[in-house]
Amino acid sequence: MPFQLYTVNHLTHSLSEVAQAAAQAAEKESEWLDTPGVHSLVLVSTCNRVEIYTSADPEVRLVPASELPSQTQPLQVPSHNQTHDGSLAWNFIEGRAVAEHLYRVAAGLDSMVVGEAEVAGQVRRSFTRAQDLGEVHGLMVRMFEGALSTARKVASKTELTGLGRSVVSVGLDVAEASGRLPNWRQARVLLVGTGAYAGSTVAQLRARGVRDIANISTSDRVIAFAKNHGTRVVPAADLVPALQQADLVVTARGIGAPVLRREQVRDSLVAPDSTLTILDLALHRDVEESVRDLPGVMLWNLEDIRHRVPALAVSQVRRAHEIIEEGLSEYDAAVAARHMDPAIVQLRAIFEQAAAAEIDRLPAGDMISREAAEAAIHHVIAKLAHTPTVSAHMAAEAGLGAEWVGALATVWGLTPAVLEAALNAEVR
């Protein structure tokens, strides 16, 4: 059954449309999985892409035809991101192109920041979740395992991860370049969120020398997060005083509604010369857009950051592509091997049927004589040899004896000496 991919990502859509796709996918995941003809499904949702990988019968479509391109060529992008009725238009890919796309995504080549370190972990977590829920089977397991293995090779054999830093790192670079922050060792940072991006933010800040990082209490997880990451907790009721003391605010919660509102930021700017730098890393924006208009506030979100990503060394990207092609070749070999499964199953059934027939012929009782056992074994061998013997004679009569011997050598691992003897033997 062919693989299908439905994707909305930063390369073809705005981040607000990515957020819209994320909400739609979260709502419909169970419905999609229960669709007749769907056999596996993995949902990958990150800050800049939403992708539904599925193995399904050819006629099955998870997204209505009106929301797909008119043609289903690999990597085709819709000419308009909204359909005539206002629905979101998804990109659609099928066949081997799905594996090519996944391998590129896992390796970080399709990220907002090429070589982004977090994306492989996001793909792995999505795959693991699907496995835990029993939603992924067969060759799709092999495809994801191969993509993640290849991503590790790209990370270890190229400098792509170092050159293409994470979205968090680029965002911090943008904030630093503004010239409004003190030395990193003196900077006071207020963090909103306890997820993967929040953890990455703490790591990036520590690497830059930041010592004062506070977590605003927005959920029950903040205590454990602060303990694990060495940050201090600020009660939610003290948000405005915490904003007054902060040089930089980083939000990475993304719950679908702003957690930092205009009036809260405005109330924190008490002094005439008050300034505040805010970095909103949430896909579903954590900061009200109107905050940007407040005097003394400088706000960047993911849409701003995407236009400030650095260029990468061409040689590193080229090497990454080579590693991906090697990984895809291994995947193709695995797919080809799986295509032989029906023939192998049939062959085993023939063997088992021949053995069962001889077992039924054995004398009753717990013990049988050596002669009876030998006779049974010879009967099985004779039955298994009958069909190949007939086909060998037919092949020879048709002038295909050499091809038949070559095929037999491949199946049974015959040595060159045996082949030569078979092809050159005189009939007596």
Is 398 marked as binding a ligand? no
Is 118 marked as binding a ligand? yes
Nearest to 158 by CA among 205, 117, 110: 117
Burial class (CB in 10 A: 0-12, 13-18, 19+), 273: exposed
- DSSP 3-state of 381: helix
Is 122 marked as binding a ligand? yes
**DSSP E strand boundaries for 212-350:** 212-216, 232-234, 248-251, 276-280, 297-301
How far, in Å, are 112, 166, 191, 304, 390 from residue 309 at the CA level?
A: 8, 10, 22, 10, 68
Is 48 marked as binding a ligand? yes
Is 196 marked as binding a ligand? yes
Strand partners, 268: none
Is 194 marked as binding a ligand? yes
47 is catalytic: yes
Torsions phi, psi for 271 (to 5 deg): -85, 150
Nearest to 260 by CA among 246, 245, 280, 231: 280
Is 333 marked as binding a ligand? no
Is 396 marked as binding a ligand? no
Pair 286, 156: CB distance under 8 Å: no
413: left (phi over 0), alpha (psi -120 to 50) or beta: left
List the catalytic residue out of 8, 47, 210, 302.
47
Expressed in percent and rounded to 5, the helix, strand and coil fractions of the chain are 55, 15, 30
Is 116 marked as binding a ligand? yes
Is 16 marked as binding a ligand? no
The residue to which tokens 């939603």 are assigned: 135
Is 195 marked as binding a ligand? yes
Residues flagged as binding site for NADP(+): 193-198
Q: What residue numbers does the annotated binding site for substrate cover?
A: 46-49, 111, 116-118, 122
Binding-site positions: 46-49, 111, 116-118, 122, 193-198
Known catalytic residues? 47
